[in-house]
Amino acid sequence: MNFNKLPPIIFFLVGILLIILGYFGLEKLPDIQRSKVAKRLPFANGSESTQKWSSSKDRGYLSIYLFNITNLESYLNEEDDTIKVKEVGPVVYSYEPDITILNWDSNETAISFAKFKTFYFEPELSKIDLNTVINTVNIPVATVLNSLEDYGFFLKFLGETKAFSNFKKYNSTVFFSKTIDEILFKGYDAKVVGAIKEDKALPNDTYGLMYNKNHTNDGVYTMYTGVDDVTKLGLLKKWNEVSLNNCWLNEKCGEIIGSDGSRFPPNLNPVKNPIVHLFSSSLFRSLSMAYKRDYNLKGIKVSRYEIEEKNFILSLEENKCYCPDPNKVIDGKSLCEYNGLLDISRCRKAPILISAPHLLYGSPELMNVIRGLEPDLLKHESYVDIDPVTGIVLKGRKRLQVNVYARKNKFGHQNKDTVVPVMWIEEAQEITDQKAILYYDAIHGLVNKASYVLIGLMIIGTLLVIAALIMTSIDIIRNNNNKMISKDFNKKKSDLNHNTSYHKTNTEPFDEKVKITTTEK
């Protein structure tokens, strides 16, 4: 077929058709992708999505930074009135979560599971030796002293007398020096707790921040499967068999809402979903996370959501229920008047205050209570990077700090009520390069190939339109040229005819004259 003989209008119409097909195809492609992916995501007993989720072994890393009290002696001797700390670490452990499915709802709209973690020390990633000795607070002793405050005068007197006797017997103090290994996984002797309060005796009379935490879970999660409503996929229905946590002052603060942090409902839209919620078992509460930006993570478009500062602002009316004991005092002010500290004492049964690392989001006055802290948003904020199509978290950083509320006491161990930073942790997970390729091909590969085809159609369509316009322009120019040539030819022909007629007219008298002259002769 000779395309040169086709009229330009054919090229133009075909080009416009291809551009329209490409444009509307690209507009509809995301909706088609979301629809197809949403049908594959919901969990059902024995389904492929359930099998992949429960068997995933995405390696994570737990980095622990501890705070060494550098002026302990001068503080206890009342030469310094504030504690000074220095961050040491990190000590790094790797882990692979092991998801165990416990049961399904009768209609499979919810699934209950537990996430077990086994930690492995990573010496090459760690910046400090486990045998390093640091000064810190003795949490079991601080817990006993805090519990005595709940007694009446007489029982408190008896409790303090018994405590003083056992502190001397076991050489226990509110502050002490221990190795990092003892403070974390190995644990240290804590017989004094059981001696003072038998019902509070610790397992093996040993305490460590991570003692007996290997291959354990942080509770039983009950999550919506999305079978009946895909917009609820990944959201929690219960934690430890309850939908309300009763360690806070009202039901609003005790609501268990949001995700466990591993996945969110699919088809996230920053406009429709500027805020998502994450439930933290460490805090016994849900936290709001705000959308910040989109970016490319290993070839995959993700949406970053960051923990909102307002979660730690206790002066907000909605957060007042997160301060259950206004009688606790720091530097002459109620704990509830400070921002940045969440009192989980009622939840943990120990005087634990949780904050962002280095008291990020904390009241400026807290920097006068503890010296040596250096909050940095980039280093200390928590966030998740979510694939908005599937709702799956491809990268995350969870960062929290453990602090102890230490009351003043009569035993010479503590001269005033204060807060003592103990450690801050970072849990980090990120999709590997190899898995990112497989994930991209499975979720986004076909769609992107289709988009390239559609873009190609638009390019071809555009070229055809341009070609049609060029051909039309050439035809117009050619026609104009032909008209000009024809006009010139006609003009020249007219001029020629005019000249011929003129010469003919002028020669006739001459011929007659010649004829007459000849005749006369």
Whether residue 259 sits in one domain with residue 175: yes
The answer to whether 362 and 268 are in contact (CB under 8 A) is no
Peptide bond into 90 cis (omega under 30): yes
Residue 308 tokens read as: 């909102």
Phi then psi for 168, rounded to 5 degrees?
A: -70, -40
- Which bin fits 430, alpha (ψ -120 to 50), beta or left (φ > 0)? beta
Residues 360 and 468 reside in one and the same domain: no
* Domain end marker among 376, 400, 431: 431
Identify whether residues 331 and 461 lie together within a single domain.
Answer: no
Do 387 and 328 share a structural domain? yes
Given 476, 494, 513, which residue is the final one in a domain? 476
Question: How far apart are the C-alpha atoms of 328 and 340, rounded to whole Å?
Answer: 15
Is 130 found in the same domain as 74? yes
Residue pointed to by tokens 């024809």: 486
Q: Are residues 361 and 470 in the same domain?
A: no
Beta bridge partners of 193: none
Do 355 and 459 share a domain, yes or no? no
CA separation for the pair 296, 89 (Å, rounded): 31
Alpha-carbon gap, residue 263 to 53, rounded angstroms: 10
Q: Is residue 500 part of a domain?
A: no
Measured CA angle at 342 (ends 336, 344), to 5 deg: 110
- The secondary structure of the chain in percent helix, strand, coil, rounded to multiples of 5, reads 40, 30, 30
Residue 267 within a domain: yes
Distance CA 116, CA 244 (A): 23
**Rounded to an integer, what distance in angstroms lies between the CA atom of residue 417 and that of residue 329?**
6
Q: Mention every residue, 6+ apart, whose C-beta is less than 8 A from residue 398.
A: 261, 280, 382, 425, 426, 427, 428
Give Cβ neighbours of residue 443 (< 8 Å, ≥ 6 apart).
Answer: 37, 387, 389, 390
End-to-end CA distance of the chain: give it in Å, rounded: 80
Q: What is the pLDDT of residue 410?
A: 66
Q: Which residues pair with 287 in a beta bridge?
A: 278
Q: Does residue 75 fall inside a structural domain?
A: yes
What pTM, to 2 d.p., does this model score? 0.82
For residues 209 and 290, membership in a common domain is answered with yes
Position 198 scores a pLDDT of: 67
Give a yes or no: residue 362 inside a domain: yes
In this structure, is residue 36 part of a structural domain?
no
Nearest Cα to Cα of residue 287 among 245, 257, 262, 315: 257
Q: Domain total for the chain?
A: 2
Same domain, 386 and 418: yes
Residues 353 and 277 occupy one common structural domain:
yes
Between CA 388 and CA 38 the distance in angstroms is: 12
Helix (H, G, I), strand (E, B) or coil at 175: strand
Asked, for residue 388, whether it belongs to a domain, the answer is: yes
What's the number of CA atoms in the CB half-sphere (13 Å) around residue 95? 22
Tell me whether residue 418 is in a domain. yes
- Enclosing domain of residue 17: 7-31+448-476
Tens of each residue's pLDDT in the chain, 521 residues: 555 556 778 878 887 887 887 777 777 767 777 777 778 889 988 888 899 888 888 899 999 999 999 999 888 888 888 899 999 989 999 998 899 999 999 889 999 999 999 999 999 999 999 999 999 999 988 888 777 666 555 455 556 666 667 777 777 788 999 999 999 999 998 888 777 766 667 888 899 999 999 999 999 999 999 999 999 999 999 999 998 888 888 888 889 999 999 999 999 998 999 999 999 999 999 999 999 999 999 999 999 999 999 999 988 988 988 988 888 888 888 988 999 999 998 888 889 999 999 999 999 999 888 999 999 999 999 999 999 999 999 999 999 999 999 887 766 556 778 899 999 999 999 999 999 999 888 887 667 777 777 788 788 878 878 877 887 887 777 777 666 666 665 666 666 665 555 555 555 554 554 444 444 44
One domain, residues 86 and 178: yes
Strand, coil or helix: 38: helix
Q: Residue 275's Cα: distance from chain center in Å?
A: 11
Query: Do 147 and 179 have their domain in common?
Result: yes
Any domain includes 513? no
